[in-house]
Amino acid sequence: MALSARPDTSSIEAKWQKYWQDNDLFAWKQDLSRQKYYILEMFPYTSGRMHMGHARNFTMGDVLARMKRAQGFDVLYPMGWDAFGLPAENAAIKLGIHPAKSTADAIASMKQAMIELGLSYDWNQELDTSDAEYVSAQQRLFLKFYEAGLVYRDTKFANWCDNDQTVLADEQVIDGRCWRCDGEVTKRQVAQWFFDIRRYADQLIDDLDQLDGWPERVKKIQRSWIGRSKGADVRFDLCNAPDQSIVSFTTRVDTLMGCTFVLLAAEHKILDTVPLPAEHAQAVEEFRQQVLSQTRQDRLENRDKAGVFTGWTVRHPLTGEELPVLVANYVLPDYGTGAVMAVPAHDQRDLEFALKYALPHPVVISPDGKSFSVTDEAFVGDGVLVNSGDFDGHTTPQARDAIAGRLASIGYGGPTTTYRLQNWSVSRQRYWGNPIPIVYCPDHGAVPVPESDIPVLLPRDVDFMNSSRAILSSEQFVNVSCPACGGPARREVDTMDTFVDSAWYFLRFLDPHSAEPFPRDLADRMLPADLYIGGIEHAVLHLIYSRFFVKVLRDLGMLDFDEPFMSLRNHGMVNDADGLKQSKSRGNITEPADMIARYGSDALRVYLMFATSAENPINWDDNGPTSAVTFLQRVQRVVDAALDESRGTSPDPAASKKLLARAHAAIARVAADIEGFRFNTAVAEVMSLVNALSLNADSAGIEARREAVDVLIKLLNPFAPHFTEELWERLGNTTSLAAGTWPVLRPEMLRRDEAEIAIQVNGKLVDVISLPLDLDKSQVESEALGLEKVQRLLAGAAPRKVIYVPGKILNVVV
């Protein structure tokens, strides 16, 4: 038959792919009598074709899904398309094809590639985030967030590319230029919609402790991304302007008595709201512009601390002393309050700044309470307060409480917590996204679109090629009447960040056509998902946003669990042969379709799973899958031989038992390895069962061989689904493996009549020997004493004592 004639596996693959589809064998059954299992991989962007990295990631999920189905779980294994967003819009512009069309083309091509790889998705649950139903459901969620007060509009400095007329994320600014057009990037005040994710910062950190199934590495990245920092706020009143004050965040309020000046970030709002003394205004403005042209990274790495005096002074809240206020290049706008109480003697950056501008730097913490001074190195450790008035003699922790307490009692601050995590700006000044359902009315301001007018669909007939603001070219879209008064109004023309689309799609999979955003009963049954598979590059953003969404929806009473994904697995990348990332610009992408044409999809799958452990990268080698082809051909030959009834007609019971013990051990190990994401050792285990079947199997007899072949085919099925289906059918089976069951482990088969016994001399391991289990102590002892290695160690002496742990250890003491 055709299987062995490489590479003509295509007709077999097509045959089974059609069979699975025609019989809807991967449909989620929604069978309440079974235990649920929800597994998903991060759904792909629709900006290109399927690459080998996808193939690897998706095959991992597929192996698990197939095994779990066979094991009787009620499996939901869906796939969908992250269709909106800049990647798809840019791809469309590059091709000169409307994004709706280029997205549909990309989906068609990727779906075909997935089917050809034999992935067992339930296509009944397929979703597309650019589809009207999805757009509608998401806008409903937006409105719910809005009603709950979790959405607000604010004008903030953002990276702005003038060419593309859009805000850029920090990661999209390379050396001060736009990643896409290389145009200059400036900072600009942009009005944006925000999700108040900081409200959930504590939960997002604390609940990580429940996520036992997550890699520690990802949890660590999330903790530091959220960056919870406990400290205190300190308020300083401006001497120049009554009723105005500056609040700073500090983690060292114990050093407050050593604060000699106050620093502001260039973006600090007070610089725009309170007029500066005229003689300082220009210098401050110039300095601000200079700082604003630097990226966040540059500012963090600033070696050269610089600043400018604002002309303002503030009053120290405890001493009443007048302190200068400066704008400094190393103060970040989006951390703490964007203002710093500078304590040069105890903070290195402040010290460098103070030395440069000849500002005082009194010591207020001494390591041992004795007199102490700093020159060019700040003392940042804990110690005992000095030069601090009433607080002298307090230790650092005592002073922290005492000073924060004093501030609170006079209304000038107190303990607080700050987070590195910023509120989530969800506005994108781009066309290809989900429209934000808001209307601006001259009289009523920003008014949410009423639910009855949802969905607000993107106008399709726009000039998407020439402006990121293509949406503006549709008058019909932009000009609307105000939902509150019916007067003329304008629609919001920003679209939602594509990360909003991916923050909840795992809920929509439960029913992509539901009128509600998602069906609650199914959500409570199926979630948290049992396994989520994706790249480590999503450790933040997507994986934080998804967790945030679930917590908000829980608080809105829309679901009843705290976390979206119980278990998370990261997979390694597929690089090129030199270990470089495969990318379009390098032109080094391997397409799964080419490898499938050459080796067949089963061989490709087996290779992807066997090449290395799941977390390691694979450096792609076009010849790699050859070994998998050889292996599958060998399986075929071994199975053929094993089922030849003319062989080994007088079976030896011990040999049959041994073969079956091997097969049953494989059932246990393959399942545990797949579950543990050890796909390579699972394949190795199948290979060793193939070896056992080919070596001396004649004496095991046809009955045992048949059972072992059965087990072999079923264990190999998740890895090589088409090949095993074909074999299975050829063996006379009439039901497909996809509808079949996982082999049942019979523990009694594992019991063997021999045991591996460790032989020790004076407690040190000398040898391990296989002996029949029914030997008594004296028989085992005489076997052990007969060993040459033991005799050498005894050197003629008689054993003083012999200890025997039956079936395990024999220790000879001399």
Task: Write out the residues near ligand ANZ by the rule CB under 6 A.
Answer: 229, 249-252, 255, 265, 331-332, 335-336, 338, 340-341, 343, 346-347
- Shortest separation between residue 549's beta carbon and ligand ANZ, angstroms: 27
CB 649 within 8 A of CB 714: no
Give the residue with the Cβ less far from ligand ANZ, 340 or 441: 340
- Shortest separation between residue 381's beta carbon and ligand ANZ, angstroms: 10
- Shortest separation between residue 157's beta carbon and ligand ANZ, angstroms: 13
Task: Give the relative orientation of helices 653-675 and 679-694 as an angle to the nearest 10 degrees.
Answer: 170
Give the residue with the Cβ less far from ligand ANZ, 112 or 251: 251
What beta strand segments (E) does 627-763 contain?
A: 754-761
Alpha-carbon distance of 773 to 664, in angstroms, equals 20
- Shortest separation between residue 760's beta carbon and ligand ANZ, angstroms: 55
Structure tokens at 527: 């979630």
CB 19 within 8 A of CB 736: yes
Cis amide linkage into residue 455, ω under 30° from 0: yes
Give the residue with the Cβ less far from ligand ANZ, 343 or 421: 343
Assign 3-state DSSP to the chain and report helix, strand, coil percentages, each to 5: 40, 20, 40
Give the residue with the Cβ less far from ligand ANZ, 324 or 336: 336
- Shortest separation between residue 201's beta carbon and ligand ANZ, angstroms: 13
What values do phi and psi take at 776, rounded to 5?
-90, 180
Q: Which residues of 92-106 are buried (b: 16+ CB within 10 A; e: fewer)?
A: bbeeebbbbebbbbb
- Shortest separation between residue 466's beta carbon and ligand ANZ, angstroms: 39
- Shortest separation between residue 325's beta carbon and ligand ANZ, angstroms: 14
Give the residue with the Cβ less far from ligand ANZ, 339 or 738: 339
Alpha-carbon distance of 529 to 37, in angstroms, equals 7
- Shortest separation between residue 162's beta carbon and ligand ANZ, angstroms: 27
Name the burial class of residue 283, with classes exposed (0-12), middle (13-18) and buried (19+) by CB atoms within 10 angstroms of its CB.
Answer: middle
- Shortest separation between residue 28's beta carbon and ligand ANZ, angstroms: 46
Give the residue with the Cβ less far from ligand ANZ, 306 or 684: 306
Give the residue with the Cβ less far from ligand ANZ, 340 or 522: 340
Structure tokens at 420: 């590195």
Give the pairing type, strands 74-76 and 36-41: parallel
Residue closest to 463 by CA, chosen among 428, 496, 498, 431: 431
Give the residue with the Cβ less far from ligand ANZ, 309 or 335: 335
Alpha-carbon distance of 724 to 355, in angstroms, equals 75
Give the residue with the Cβ less far from ligand ANZ, 150 or 331: 331
| Residues belonging to the chain | 814
Give the residue with the Cβ less far from ligand ANZ, 377 or 748: 377
Give the residue with the Cβ less far from ligand ANZ, 336 or 721: 336
Give the pairing type, strands 36-41 and 531-534: parallel
Give the residue with the Cβ less far from ligand ANZ, 127 or 264: 264
- Shortest separation between residue 364's beta carbon and ligand ANZ, angstroms: 9
| Amino acid letter, residue 50 | M
Give the residue with the Cβ less far from ligand ANZ, 261 or 742: 261
- Shortest separation between residue 264's beta carbon and ligand ANZ, angstroms: 9
Distances (CA, A) of 272 to 28, 73, 234, 325: 58, 61, 21, 15
Query: In sequence order, which residues have a C-beta less than 8 Å from that of residue 166 and are 6 or more positions away?
Result: 160, 428, 429, 430, 468
Half-sphere exposure of 469 (CA within 13 A, CB side): 12
CA 804 from chain center: how many Å? 52
| Amino acid letter, residue 319 | T
Structure tokens at 797: 């002496």
- Shortest separation between residue 504's beta carbon and ligand ANZ, angstroms: 31
Distances (CA, A) of 107 to 114, 432, 434, 458, 459: 10, 16, 18, 19, 21
- Shortest separation between residue 246's beta carbon and ligand ANZ, angstroms: 12
- Shortest separation between residue 68's beta carbon and ligand ANZ, angstroms: 44
Give the residue with the Cβ less far from ligand ANZ, 398 or 514: 398
Give the residue with the Cβ less far from ligand ANZ, 252 or 569: 252
Q: Which residues of 365-402 are buried (b: 16+ CB within 10 A; e: fewer)?
A: bbeeeeebebeeebbeeebbbbbbeebeebeeeebbeb
DSSP letter, residue 799: P
- Shortest separation between residue 90's beta carbon and ligand ANZ, angstroms: 34
CB 684 within 8 A of CB 610: yes
Q: Rg of the chain over CA atoms, in angstroms?
A: 34
- For residue 538, give the 3-state DSSP assignment: helix
- Shortest separation between residue 352's beta carbon and ligand ANZ, angstroms: 13
- In sequence order, the β-bridge partners of residue 755 are 771
Give the residue with the Cβ less far from ligand ANZ, 245 or 473: 245
Structure tokens at 587: 């032109």
CB 216 within 8 A of CB 537: no
